[in-house]
Structure 1
Amino acid sequence: MRWMTFLLSAAVGVSALADQPSATFSGFNDWLGSEARGVRIGADGRLRLAPNLRRVAQLPEGVIWAAVPDGTGGAYLSAGTDGKLFHYVGGQMKPLGQVKGGIVFAMARLGQDLIVAPTGEGKLFRVTPSGDVKPFADIDARIVWSLAVEGDAVLVAGGAEKGAVLVQAREGSSRRLAELADETAFTAMTPDGQGGWYLGSHGRGLVLRYNRLGDHLETLMDTPFEEVRALTLVDGQLYIGADNGLTPKFSTGQLERREGYLQADTSATTRSAVIRLDKNRVPETLWQSAQSQVYALTAWKGQLLVGTGNRSRLFALPLGKARDTDPFAVVQELGTAQATAFLPVGGDLLVVGSNPAELHLLSEAQATEGTLESKILKGAPIADWGRAYLDAEAPTGTNVELQFRTGSTETPDATWSTWTPPLRSGERPALPPARFAQFRLRLSSTRGGATPIVETVSLYWAHRNLAPVWEGVDIMPPGLVITRTAPPDDIGIERVPLETQKLIPALGYMGAEKRSFRRGGQSFLFRVNDPNGDALQFTIQLVPEHGSPILLEKAWKERFFSFDTLPVPDGRYRLEVTASDAPSAPFNAVLTGTWRTAPFTVDHTPPALAELSAVPEGGGVRLKFVARDETSVLKEAAISADGEHWLQIVPEDRVFDQKEERFDVLVPREALRGDRLLVKVVDQYNNEQSAAVSLSEAGKKR
């Protein structure tokens, strides 16, 4: 088996060298995210003018579910969800009638009348050319997917309560010809040219043949898909359109809207395929897709046309030897979501589109003009858009034009720039920097049959460098140290303040950071990002309240910073951090952003103790002293008889809220051991001072 596969490429050939992105459009996959009208996209990626396509009618109902030729160049159509029927005749769309029940998925023309099968009714109805509706036959099928006429009888392929069924109906009667309990329904049907019928099923995606001789049902192929949606026989070879996940959408009447610019999904599984069974019943996969689903097949002008969704592309697969060099192509797009049926009209084809509901006429004559709008190109986050180079052949009487536009929204709208005048290959568009851009090709011909051929379009742009954006710098509590390596040894600390312990899980690790406590340590966390995603480095200065800045680091790479404040005099400081994208940006395009913190205090000096006295009083000792700090407010004080067990005390005014606090405490005798008391005070920066007072010395002073 030979597999012809297409998947949308992840970035349409986008590359970047030294932050100089470019895009090359040359292969088939590169063009799939584009909007093409009147342009044929070959399997080799070449662009040509396509067969002419024009819209001839519209319906407000949204979805056309079934269509059959009326025998005079027009068509009968069922549309909407309430059984409405229409007749396209003489270039006009006219209401025909309405049948009760659900959606009409299948119709057939019996003589001058129309046979229709509304969902859920278990009935066929006859509709006359004047729109009169009357019962035709009761059938053993709840949902009908295909109808065909055989003499004065109608063949019905669909699903009953217990599986797939094939029914023959005549006016007033019906009988079951075949059934398949393991499948949900027969979803497609076409004559085999020998008095029998080929059938496709939903469930295991089987291809079967119903033989009139003995009412025999034979399985020809078990496709690797859930369902067979379309069948067509050409020169004794059966072509099969198979899908995953399409029948449930039909059944609920909810066909999807047209897809926008396709995004690559490298994990996507195959959604559909076209398979050929040759005369010896040997299968060959001719085409498959992870984006499109197959709705219809027909042979036309030496090629097999494939109607797909949800971008209504018409694919063409050559039926002859041309397939060796040009195995498939996109020949047109309807501009709707789905292309669901083909109806012959002389040498042309009526093509049925849905979402919105439209009829288009496809002719063999070549279009005289076609356009292709590329997928959207993106800056990161904004770009200077450069030159585009066009490699194309333009025979006499033909032309290719290249245009460009930019905008700030991912989907082009009224805020985008207008298209530039046609650009010469290598000419830079005169457009301001923008986040998004798009180019358009316009192919034209004034000579019948002559077409330009586009080989390649190459584009270049540069991401505009933007300065780092600061959210802020968080000042950590004094003593907290953040490092990338092992925590430093603690020095001179008997205990870690509670508020700091909360920031040091197990006094160790927090993600990639190592956190610990060390006297004199001061840490900061940087909250900054770069719009271009560039790597950053930081210049860090310590700015005193008075005096010149002190350079701490010139090219710091971490988003945190710790330094030892012990060599720095007590006082108020700010940290000034300048972020630079120098590690990623070109030298002459480097940008910076600076943040200066709120003031913080450096304080290494412990408080001073004065006027210390301990005088017996009643059953205890009256302890008095004054604590004073030059830089910060005091935060705690304690006394101890042995240096191990400490009793917290408060100042005379009961609040630690000053740099100087007075203490007057009556210490019970049982709290004393010997004739000495220890006193300790701590300031807000965890500097502490202690002293001892002797009761005997207090007595002597007194």
Structure 2
Amino acid sequence: MKNLTPALGTILLASAGIVSAQQPSATFASFNDWLTSDAKGVRIGADGKLRLAPGLRRVGTLPEGVVWAAVPDGSGGAYLSAGNEGKLFHYTAGQVKPLAQVKGGIVFAMARLGQDLIVAPSGENKLFRVTPGGEVKPFADIDARLVWAMAVDGTELVLAGGGEKGAALVLAREGHSRKLAELPEETAFTALASDGKGGYYLGSHGRGLVLHYTGVRTGDRMETLMATGFEEVRALVVEGGEVFAGATNGLSSKFASGSLERREGYLAEPGTTTKSAVIRLDKDRVPQTLWQSAQNQIFALTAWNGQLLVGTGNRSRLFALPLSEKARGESPFSALQDLGAAQATAFLRVGSDLMVVASNPAELHLLNESQATDGTIESRVLKASPLADWGRAYVEAETPQGTGVEFQFRTGSTETPDGTWSPWTPPLLSGERPHVAPARFAQFRLKLASTRGGATPSVEGVRVHWANRNLAPLWESVDIMPPGLVVTRTAPPDDIGIERVPLETQKLIPALAYAGSEKRSFRRGAQAFFFHVADPNGDQLEFGLRLLPESGAPIELEKAWKERFFTFDTLAVPDGKYRLEITASDAPSQPLNTALTSTLRTAPFLIDHTPPVITELTATPEVDGVRVRFTARDQTSVLKEAALSADGDAWVQVAPDTRIFDTKEATFNVLVPRARIKGSRVLVKVTDLSNNEQTATVAIGEVKKK
């Protein structure tokens, strides 16, 4: 509570040091800094360095949204299962053509047996043979409703899937099948890879197990090698005697429904746990997690060109993990390519190249060992608060002879770049200011290029600077509290008894204790205010406060008040109408020459600390009791209530002759019943709107003028 006279001191003092105004900037130097960027032909290393990636080109598209399975056709092409109705396609000679449609649901698994294709549509408990000409024939009945993976073993097929009793491993040949093993504790076997010795490694759904089946010729023995801690093992790769498992959560329900998400944002929701991991089992079957992600789910794995490639969703980004331990020590992983679709669902060898199958949209891409000659990466969208002047960017890059890096910039007013954004600027030098209009959003693009085979530029980091345009604070309102309410941050002053506090004010003082972060109490003559004001930039605010009388000079109360509430002692100023002028300033968060202010004046409020006057008080005996008459008047406020006591104990509320308290002066004529009178005197009390109170007493039968 602020007092106008230094001699009376202050009840509430607050101070805060000036907050340094640091201009925003964004640094792109680590892998996570580039995580939400869109990269095409650019490899993002685990160390955050950008280099040109292996060459990638799209070679085909499918009319269906999702490709579920793919196998080579033996002639440089591929057979593909797509959509939810058992549709099969053939990619050959650079074209995708419809092949056939099989009865049943989604075909999750296929294998090529001789020149024919063996497929397992979901829910049918059957295998079908599809000839190169598209003729569909029954092949065998099987004890598995869903087949997730299939491998050729001579003239027979090994099927990994799920049946009525859980995970099932089935051996099938034309016209016949039998169950090799089952695991009731798991829902299904979801991945299958040969161990090269007649046995198979299996991945399961349920507890995400990696298992080893020794094979028909070696004893039909099933052994659990590892529980990954994930829901399922979606892909397995055996390379150099080691087993690599792609474990993931939350895929099975999407596969079963035949619906994979469209491409979505990269960042995980708050509280999201790990979605997937690549786990290696070395030759001694010791597990080691090589890579994990909270954003990506694993759809496919393959070994290629000394690396383990990981196909992920929902950004169709390919990750590369070196197969050799020495190479992993130098660079444990990299984001190799982004297909621009939602999921990378399968890999196929095509000579020395690698076919990568994408879904949503369904596309075929060829990845080759030769390095791309150019690539681009677009940063995440930078956001000002709320508008910015965009400044210089500094690019740290190594550019061997024959290579180069270009930097470009653009701005816009929508969070997602669209046609309303500015065009990309011409290439800028590192440290050159972009000539763009102030805007809320911005983005930069890097172009990496090489005219020499094998040579690549390397970008080590980018730092972008900008200055948010300062906007003045925005006032909503100021709450004027009832007279007498004291609001403090620290301990309140000594309070008078709660029974003396007006009822409407008591409701604002929860037991005279804490109410939010401040404390509330009551003191005669106090006047409190609450400020409702916001700053568009989120700046810290301070307030200049002046008391404005109806006439006369303003009275300065505070120059740099830091709280959103204020209380001052009105006893030092005369009665009358006043306004409070509050000037909000963002100076604590802004440089001296950019700080802005915004001023609000409150509605008029009354300062009144003079109690009413009671005159012409009489108490005349009558037959039925005592007639009490008096007049009450106040110089400033309307009268609010009156009461009398004729027994020296209880107060009884009384109304004026007009029955309404709506004037500064009122007369009272009250007959007090004989039963309420216990003494020889009557006490009356009158209160005005400012809670000023006056009392007077008169002996029964006495006339008292004042």
Q: TM-score, normalised by structure 1?
A: 0.92
Which residue in 1 is equivalent to 2:525?
520
- Structure 2 Cα separation of the partners of residues 671 and 44 of structure 1: 92
Q: 1:596 aligns with which of 598, 601, 607?
A: 601
Deviation at 1:695, TM superposition (A): 4.2
Which residue in 1 is equivalent to 2:353?
348
Which residue in 2 is equivalent to 1:484?
489
Cα pair 2:611 2:693 within 8 Å, conserved: yes
Q: 2:320 aligns with which of 316, 322, 325?
A: 316
Q: 1:682 to 1:152 in 2, by over 3 A?
A: same
Deviation at 1:557, TM superposition (A): 1.7
Which residue in 1 is equivalent to 2:180?
177
Which residue in 2 is equivalent to 1:535?
540
Which residue in 2 is equivalent to 1:151?
154
Which residue in 1 is equivalent to 2:427?
422
Letter in 2 for 1:272: S
- Structure 2 Cα separation of the partners of residues 695 and 198 of structure 1: 109
Which residue in 2 is equivalent to 1:440?
445
- Structure 1 Cα separation of the partners of residues 58 and 651 of structure 2: 93
- Structure 1 Cα separation of the partners of residues 167 and 333 of structure 2: 33
Letter in 2 for 1:132: E
- Structure 2 Cα separation of the partners of residues 303 and 104 of structure 1: 29
Letter in 1 for 2:458: I
Deviation at 1:502, TM superposition (A): 0.7
Q: 1:670 to 1:279 in 2, by over 3 A?
A: closer
Q: 1:619 to 1:357 in 2, by over 3 A?
A: same
- Structure 1 Cα separation of the partners of residues 89 and 383 of structure 2: 45
Which residue in 2 is equivalent to 1:9?
none
Q: 1:693 to 1:150 in 2, by over 3 A?
A: same
Q: 1:172 to 1:489 in 2, by over 3 A?
A: same
Provide the secondary structure at the position in 2 that maps to 1:588: coil
- Structure 1 Cα separation of the partners of residues 478 and 381 of structure 2: 37
Q: 2:303 aligns with which of 295, 299, 317?
A: 299
- Structure 2 Cα separation of the partners of residues 206 and 616 of structure 1: 101
Which stretch has the larger CA shift, 609-618 or 108-117? Answer: 609-618
Matched, 1:397 2:402: yes
Deviation at 1:494, TM superposition (A): 6.3
Which residue in 1 is equivalent to 2:91?
88
- Structure 1 Cα separation of the partners of residues 130 and 413 of structure 2: 53
Cα pair 1:275 1:287 within 8 Å, conserved: yes
Which residue in 2 is equivalent to 1:257?
262
Alignment of 1:49-88 (within 5 A): 49-88=52-91
Provide the secondary structure at the position in 2 that maps to 1:587: coil
Which residue in 2 is equivalent to 1:386?
391
Which stretch has the larger CA shift, 207-216 or 337-346? Answer: 207-216
Q: 2:253 aligns with which of 236, 248, 255?
A: 248
Cα pair 1:470 1:529 within 8 Å, conserved: yes
Deviation at 1:239, TM superposition (A): 2.6
- Structure 2 Cα separation of the partners of residues 693 and 323 of structure 1: 101
Which stretch has the larger CA shift, 574-583 or 611-620? Answer: 611-620
Cα pair 2:403 2:456 within 8 Å, conserved: yes
Deviation at 1:588, TM superposition (A): 2.5
Q: 1:21 aligns with which of 16, 21, 24?
A: 24
Provide the secondary structure at the position in 1 that maps to 2:589: coil
Cα pair 2:647 2:676 within 8 Å, conserved: no
- Structure 2 Cα separation of the partners of residues 117 and 565 of structure 1: 88
- Structure 1 Cα separation of the partners of residues 550 and 309 of structure 2: 80
Deviation at 1:17, TM superposition (A): 7.9
Cα pair 1:490 1:519 within 8 Å, conserved: no
| Deviation sequence 1:143-181 (CA, Å, 0-9, x none) | 110112222222111111212211111121101112222
Provide the secondary structure at the position in 1 that maps to 2:253: helix
Q: 1:627 to 1:150 in 2, by over 3 A?
A: same
Q: 2:128 aligns with which of 125, 128, 131?
A: 125
Alignment of 1:562-641 (within 5 A): 562-641=567-646
Matched, 1:288 2:298: no
Provide the secondary structure at the position in 2 that maps to 1:249: helix
Which stretch has the larger CA shift, 465-474 or 329-338? Answer: 465-474
Alignment of 1:142-221 (within 5 A): 142-211=145-214, 212-221=217-226
Deviation at 1:616, TM superposition (A): 4.1
Deviation at 1:93, TM superposition (A): 1.9
Q: How many aligned positions are there? A: 684
Q: 1:560 aligns with which of 565, 569, 573?
A: 565
Q: Which runs of 5+ in 1 are unaligned?
A: 1-15
Q: 2:276 aligns with which of 258, 272, 277?
A: 272
- Structure 2 Cα separation of the partners of residues 493 and 300 of structure 1: 82
Letter in 1 for 2:311: G
Cα pair 1:165 1:179 within 8 Å, conserved: yes
Q: 1:621 to 1:370 in 2, by over 3 A?
A: same
- Structure 1 Cα separation of the partners of residues 382 and 551 of structure 2: 52
* Identity within the alignment, %: 72
Provide the secondary structure at the position in 2 that maps to 1:500: helix
| Deviation sequence 1:330-365 (CA, Å, 0-9, x none) | 221101111111112222121111122211121223
| Deviation sequence 1:61-94 (CA, Å, 0-9, x none) | 2211111112222211111222222222222222
Q: TM-score, normalised by structure 2?
A: 0.92
Deviation at 1:381, TM superposition (A): 3.5
Q: In angstroms, what is the RMSD of aligned CA positions? A: 2.4
Q: 1:306 to 1:672 in 2, by over 3 A?
A: closer
Deviation at 1:460, TM superposition (A): 1.8
| Deviation sequence 1:622-675 (CA, Å, 0-9, x none) | 333322212111111222224433222211221111112122233334434455
Letter in 2 for 1:409: T
- Structure 2 Cα separation of the partners of residues 217 and 415 of structure 1: 61
Deviation at 1:618, TM superposition (A): 4.0
Which residue in 2 is equivalent to 1:475?
480
Matched, 1:359 2:361: no
Cα pair 2:266 2:315 within 8 Å, conserved: no
Q: 1:116 aligns with which of 109, 116, 119?
A: 119
Q: Which runs of 5+ in 2 are unaligned?
A: 1-18
Q: 1:680 to 1:317 in 2, by over 3 A?
A: closer
| Deviation sequence 1:454-486 (CA, Å, 0-9, x none) | 122122223333322221110011111111233
- Structure 2 Cα separation of the partners of residues 130 and 576 of structure 1: 88
Q: 1:618 to 1:98 in 2, by over 3 A?
A: same
Deviation at 1:231, TM superposition (A): 1.8
Which residue in 1 is equivalent to 2:672?
667
Cα pair 1:349 1:363 within 8 Å, conserved: yes
Deviation at 1:203, TM superposition (A): 2.5
- Structure 1 Cα separation of the partners of residues 690 and 345 of structure 2: 77
Cα pair 1:404 1:440 within 8 Å, conserved: yes
Q: 1:229 to 1:666 in 2, by over 3 A?
A: closer
Provide the secondary structure at the position in 1 that maps to 2:593: helix
Cα pair 1:33 1:263 within 8 Å, conserved: no
Cα pair 1:382 1:434 within 8 Å, conserved: yes
Letter in 1 for 2:371: Q
- Structure 1 Cα separation of the partners of residues 521 and 363 of structure 2: 71
Cα pair 1:366 1:449 within 8 Å, conserved: yes
- Structure 2 Cα separation of the partners of residues 114 and 294 of structure 1: 26
Letter in 2 for 1:243: T
Cα pair 1:34 1:261 within 8 Å, conserved: no
Deviation at 1:571, TM superposition (A): 0.6
- Structure 1 Cα separation of the partners of residues 621 and 92 of structure 2: 120
Q: 1:286 to 1:468 in 2, by over 3 A?
A: same
Which stretch has the larger CA shift, 33-42 or 663-672? Answer: 663-672
